[in-house]
Structure 1
Amino acid sequence: TLGGPGQGNYAAANAYLDALAENRRSRGLAGLAVAWGLWGGGGLADSNEAIRSRMRRVPMPAMDPQLAVRALGESLDGQDPVVTVMDVDWEQLGSAPGTADVHEMPLVRDLPEIRQLAVAGARAQGAARSDGELASRLAGMARAEQDRVLTDVVRAEAAAVLGHSSVDMVQARQAFRDLGFDSLTAVELRNQMNAATGLRLPATLVFDYPTPVVLAEFLRGQLTGEQAETAPPSAAVVVAPTDEPLAIVGMACRFPGGAGSPEEFWELLSSGGDAVGGFPTDRGWDLEGFYDPDRESEGTSYTRSGAFLRDATEFDAGFFGISPREALAMDPQQRLLLETSWEALERAGIDPKALKGSPTGVFAGGFGSGYAIGMALTGQDGAGVEGHLMTGNSTSVLSGRISYVLGLEGPAVTVDTACSSSLVALHLAAQAVRSGECSLALAGGVTVMATPFSFVEFSRQQGLSVDGRCRAFSEDADGTGWAEGAGMLVVERLS
């Protein structure tokens, strides 16, 4: 009747019931449709604090149940097939953000006393807006101070919409989506920002400008007439000559044998170190029943050696703004690529956060690790992680996860061409940088064996090396050895 954001499905269903009641009464049959406002004393509105907080901000207070029941009795005795029963604070409705024209609504326009209250509320809203008009406050400030003030305004309004008692719950660079905004609260925040700024902002505001600091920069441009700062030099996309050399300006890796950096990896190689060892003990594998020297024994491996990452189960989820529940649902390959991508950028002298919004590309080689299967086998797939399993275990998300966390807007491509995946990813990254599709590219790959599937399959094919070591081009070669690792490169035009 007065508009319910996010309740379009209810509106359609209730309109049908209104029409049904009208139709029945027109044929002399019983029929009554009551459009109810909020009831007090329990029910959905009291089911959790988020809903209670939201209802406290709307100009329709919860009705006294006794009064509502009495209204129902009067409706049953009345002649109208369709009635509306609600308690409305008309003055608050008139002053609510985004409702300055409420007094022109038919329901209000036809009721003189209510119209007067709504007009008074709308005028109060307008007066409050002019008294604290942001544009005049910003006029005498330096640009950095303008950004700080507007960021604080956005954070305060966002905290209010989400029902937080402190603005500290809303970080300036945290995505609105990660803060808990959905399409309904996004519109609410837009309305609040309309009231705070005097602007007419789009309903898609928090999706177009996904963090408080980015939104504040947009608002500064709207209020002062100045354009946003131009993108940093690294974001300028230029088509390069096809023969221009490319440079690897940063790298990071995780390899067996304790190689957690390029320097440690080089030391492992130059010293002739051996990274091959026994199967990992922290992945839920049945190590006792898994090994069988009989090459025909199904479900077993005739080798018990490989080169494994001993810290593949470790991850600092909070550093990347990922909840523990989502981190548990994530393929460890995604976790490793996040870590190595961040480190590779830092080692290139680039602040990863500074690339947000830039046309930086991500090209990652990977394969299905079987992590989701392992979770199912150990009974963890239903341990509160539903809703995160699909994005956490889709190979395609290996590259997309990096782009999303860092806010990159260049190509995001996951390549699975088996053993050549990382090389193909680097090739595609080089092409993209040269063609101008991206200004900078992260390229590399990852392999983590969450299940022993590869060992079982190659045992049946008798393609495994007995001691887990490869002897390429040697007369002693007896099969492949499986290993894990992750490596990322930062690629840029040499110029």
Structure 2
Amino acid sequence: GTVLVTGGTGALGALTARHLVARGSRDLLLLSRGGPDAPGAGELLSELRAAGAHAEVVACDITDAEALAEAVRGRRITSVFHVAGVLDDGVATTLTPDRVRAVLAAKATAARLLHELLPDVEEFVLYSSVSAALGTPGQGNYAAANAYLDALARHRHTRGLPALSLAWGPWDVGAGMTGALTDADRERAARSGLPLTTAGTGTALLDAAMAGADPAVLPGAVDVTGFTGREEVPHLLRGLVRGPRRAAASPAGEVSFAGRLRALPAGERALMVLERVRAEAAAVLGFPTADAVEKDRPFKELGFDSLTAVELRNRLGAVTGVRLPATLVFDHPTPEALAERLGAELVPPEPGAADALTAGLDALEASPDALSPGDRSRLRVRLSALLARWADDQAGQDPDGTEDQDADLAAATEEDIFALIDSELESP
């Protein structure tokens, strides 16, 4: 029979096709959007045919039921390898329905159509993702799409149908959905706890999984130390990984980052925070020093994407002990802006006289009946005199009177403030 491979001309699909032929498959149907015109399709066909296989590449939108039915019409499909997928990473708050829909379609919709269209196949292999099992920053839509594949495999298994869902981690197989990888990408993957899977390791894991009986597996290595200290530890690893150690809970004798910051003169604090932001950004991007991270250059221009942005958020959160939003880098797009935000979180500005008086006003306004009629009368007289003086002082000063108003408010006594509140509450 014929082996059907979706995404057959992509890096992972082509690797799978070559491996299937090496295992003895002799009739392959490779589906892709680009078909024979896809980059590398001609070379792949020549290679497969030279190895003794009959292979054909067909252009097909696998999310379209009619197009998919037409592509397989007249063929005896005995095996399905659903490799195709689309990435559109972004933190959840930036995802639109269209962005979610496109990612779901390539994985989930296509898998459902294959399940319905080819009920009698002997092998039904789905290339899922570790994002569905462990979660990967910035891939909420992709995680949901692949969780569907895992569920579909279990559904088929309970019905006695062949099924295998493989929750792959990141691959190192050249250009593909993840693009060409740099050394910095490989180092970052290793730090994340999900080292890259090479072609040889991946195909060996594929064979082992297909020889087993489990409908859903996570092939590959997981380095649990990469998950230590994360704000959220994946459910599957909670028995193996320690929870986060916040900077606020530093061991005895160890001064936290915030403590060291507060000990500095006010004029030196901003520089300390900025240098730490630059250092952490350089570490995330794989730069040897922080010199390459200019303080006023946007993170996007430096090479940050949604995944590295979340990694920077995690690193800064671990250092500072502050719970930071996933959109931190998007909300504060330069190292300087981000450092300013962190500095305000770690060492809030001390309230001035006006802030303290305003707090008193708020408290009295919230409880207008706290004053007796006699107190209200006395305070009203006092405030009336104060207001008259403020009005006289304002005349001839700056046009909007803001400077004198601020100065008088700072000098006002508590009795002055009480009288002001009393007057406001009783005015019609």
Q: Taking structure 1 as the reference length, what is the TM-score of the superposition?
A: 0.39
Higher relative contact order (CA 8 A, sep 6+): 1
Higher share of residues assigned helix: 2
